Every structure is written in structure tokens, then in C-alpha cells.
Amino acid sequence: MSLSLGMPALRRSPAQRPSTAGRPDLPGLIDSHGRTARDLRISVTEKCSLRCTYCMPEQGLPAIHRDDLLTPGEIARLVGIGVRDLGVRDIRFTGGEPLMRPDLAEIISLSAAVVAPDGEPVSVSLTTNGIGLDKRIGELVAAGLTRVNISLDTVDRDHFARLTRRDRLPAVFAGIEAARLAGLTPLKINAVLMRDTLAGAADLLEWSLANGVRLRFIEQMPLDADEAWARDNMVDAAELLSVLGRRFTLSQPRREDPSAPAEEWLVDGYLVGNSPATVGIIASVTRSFCAACDRTRLTAEGTVRSCLFGDDETDLRALLRDGADDATIADWWRAAMWGKQSGHGISLPDFQRPLRSMGAIGG
Ligand code: SAM
Ligand code: SF4
């Protein structure tokens, strides 16, 4: 079995700027399928405190050499170019596990200081497994963190330990509680939907309703380093709805934002705060939102990745370190996004998994 452990072979050298043939002369991160990226996901590390079976290999990802990681100053420079020159408005730090970076507060504070041309501050958020968040929430909020999504797939401690290969559920609960107390609400909880987690899905929803957090289930994608994902065994949104429907009455409200990946279902009879409770379902495989995708990604080593499933990467770190000016870097970033593929193509017969796994891209 081959494993999607390491870095892709397809990384471009700085001498090869992607083609922009046919691209209109517009400032934003447009692609040839008519989409514009404004949401920037930045991976800050490959390290993680867990080893979720749907993401990481048991031994963890190969270590990235310290000198190969973007520094806080380099990240902030790219955020500045993204926001000032390319129309980026939302910044989300991810990984690996972003809390594994000791300088995360510095990364956040330098990035949160960037101001958009219209004078609006950018939104700076984090996707995390929550472990250690209770100890760092003060410095992160002071640095400018405004929102946090926490990943949690089960509220059963033994199950959690099997699924993540680490017995750390109490630490995740402590992180969730700290985020709530710090006022980072509405707090979103992401759960990956798998055959292995389906039986506990209603318990997880019940726990989320009792704890005032917004739960979203995400269909599992073929991005696990172990390459165990199989289309004919995956749990889809329809199967989840039928399982949740045995304990809850769900009714679907109108979609407020058609480009939002989550379909929000009202959970009848429950409130979160003063609002009707909802549960989100992100059917990333069976009802892909690729046609409305507005994401652009930076890997921890500073390559632009236009799509989770596209292995072509453009090396902005090399440009940064070669002394390129902002205009040149912006130009390369636009070129990288112009060639973004139309969709993930998971259901196509010739679908091929990307070389990097989820933890090595940044989810
Ligand atoms: N460590 C952080 C965390 O777990 O939230 C951030 C990185 S993690 C790669 C980002 C998100 O990707 C998490 O919500 C995780 O559940 C999700 N994810 C990982 N592997 C996935 C897969 N194969 N399919 C769908 N989502 C996945
Ligand atoms: Fe780590 Fe997040 Fe991947 Fe789990 S999903 S192994 S917490 S990076």
C-alpha cells in the first residue's frame, strides 16, 4: 500500500510561473471557472497532538525542517499581500494542529494587524483539535483571534482514544469550555462522518445541544494518509439524516447563503441561547460545493495550493526569500489560482487521490 505521507513531487520551481493564458487583467484571485477566492486557509505546521485515523498516519507526518516553515513575519507578509492586493477577507489558521506552534500568538497578532483597503480588519480564525487551548486562549484572543472551530467526532472516551490513537478527550472538553468562556461564540464543532462514528452521532448532537455549541458533520473525503477511504463504504448525508431522525425531528430551513458548504437543519424543540438549534451537514463528497468554492490555501512551507485535490503547487516562499516585491508575489499567486481545477472529481472513474493527506495540506 502506498501512503500519502510526504510532500508532493509536483512542487513547482520558482522559475516556472503557472500559465495565465486567457486570464482577464483583474486584481483578485479569479480562476478560469468563474470563481473568486477570498477565504485563505493557512497551514502553520504538520505536527499534531492526535493521530486521527481519517487524517494522519500512526507515526505522524514526516517532520518539516524548521527552516522550511514559514516564519510569523513571512506569514504576515503573505496575509498582507492577500488582503491588500488580492481581495482576501477571511484568514483561517490550520494544520496539522496549529496549537503545536509555540509562536501562534505572534502569527495571529501580525496577521490580525493587516487592514483591508476598505478599512475593515480581517477576520482571523482557527481550526483546532482544542488540546491545550485552555492554557493559551488568553494570549490568542489578545492577539486578535475572533473565531474558533474545534474538531470532535465522539463524546465517548474509549471511542475517542481509538479514533485519534490518543486518550485526550478530557483535554478537548477543556479546550471547548475555555473557548466558550472566552466568548468565542457561536462555537462550531466539526465532526467527520464515518462508518465508525455513525452510531455515536446522535449522542454527539445531544451533547452539542446541551453545551450550546453548533455541530457540523462533514462527509469523509479520501484524504487519509492510510488510504483506507472507500467510496462504497462511506457514510453520506442521507444515511446520517436517517440515523439522527430516530432521536430528533429535523426540518430544513431555507439556505441563507447558497455558497456556504453546510446545509443547516433545525432541531425541533431545542434552543442554543435564544436561537433555534441547528445541526449542519457538509456533504463535501455527495453534494460538493466546488462550484462555489472561494478558498485559496497556503501550506506550512509556503506553497499556494488552489484546491485540496490539486497537487500543483506554487512556491511563494522561494519568491519571498529571493527578495521578490509584493507585486511579483501577488502576480504569481493570481497565476496559481487561475489554473484551479473545476472540482474534486471524487466520483469520476479516473479520480486520483492527491499526493498530500489532509494534515499535510491543512484542512
Ligand atoms: N488539527 C486541527 C483539527 O483537527 O481541527 C486542524 C487540522 S484538520 C486537518 C482540519 C479539519 O479537517 C478537521 O476538522 C478534521 O476533522 C478535518 N479532516 C481531516 N481529515 C479529513 C477527511 N479525510 N475528510 C474530511 N475531513 C477531514
Ligand atoms: Fe491532527 Fe486535526 Fe488531523 Fe486529527 S484531523 S490528526 S487533530 S490534524
- Alpha helices for 28-146 (secondary structure H): 72-86, 104-112, 133-143
| Pocket around ligand 1 at a 6 A CB cut-off | 48, 54-55, 94-95, 97, 127-129, 151, 190, 192, 218, 220-221, 223-224, 358-359, 363
**Dist. CA 5 → ligand 1 center (Å):** 15
pLDDT of residue 256: 64
Residues above pLDDT 70, as percent of the chain: 94
**Cα distance between residue 29 and residue 81, in whole Å:** 12
- Dump the DSSP string for 305-320: ES-TT---EEEHHHHH
Say whether pLDDT at 13 is over 70.
no
Pairing status of strand 147-151 against strand 188-193: parallel
Rounded mean pLDDT of 2-17? Answer: 55
Domain of residue 108, residue span: 3-361
Rounded mean pLDDT of 330-353? Answer: 93
The pTM is what? Answer: 0.95
Phi, psi of 93 (to 5 degrees): -90, 140
Q: Please say whether the beta carbons of 341 and 306 come within 8 A.
A: yes
Q: Cα–chain-centroid distance for residue 262?
A: 13
From the CB of 96, is ligand 2 less than 6 Å away? yes
Q: Please say whether the beta carbons of 113 and 80 come within 8 A.
A: no
| Closest listed residue to residue 123, CA positions, set 40, 43, 35 | 40
pLDDT in tens, 138-195: 999 999 999 999 999 999 999 999 999 999 999 999 999 999 999 998 899 999 999 9
Q: How many domains does the chain have?
A: 1
**Dist. CA 50 → ligand 2 center (Å):** 6
Q: Please say whether the beta carbons of 166 and 49 come within 8 A.
A: yes
* Residue 124: strand, helix, or coil: strand
pLDDT in tens, 273-312: 788 999 999 999 998 889 999 999 999 999 999 999 998 8
Report which DSSP code applies to 104: H
| Other Cβ atoms closer than 10 A to 20 | 17
User: Which domain CATH number covers 148?
Assistant: 3.20.20.70
pLDDT in tens, 231-289: 888 999 999 999 999 999 999 876 666 667 889 999 999 998 788 999 999 999 998 88
5 pLDDT band, cuts 50/70/90, is very low
104-112 and 72-86 are packed helices; what angle lies between their axes, rounded to 10 degrees?
30
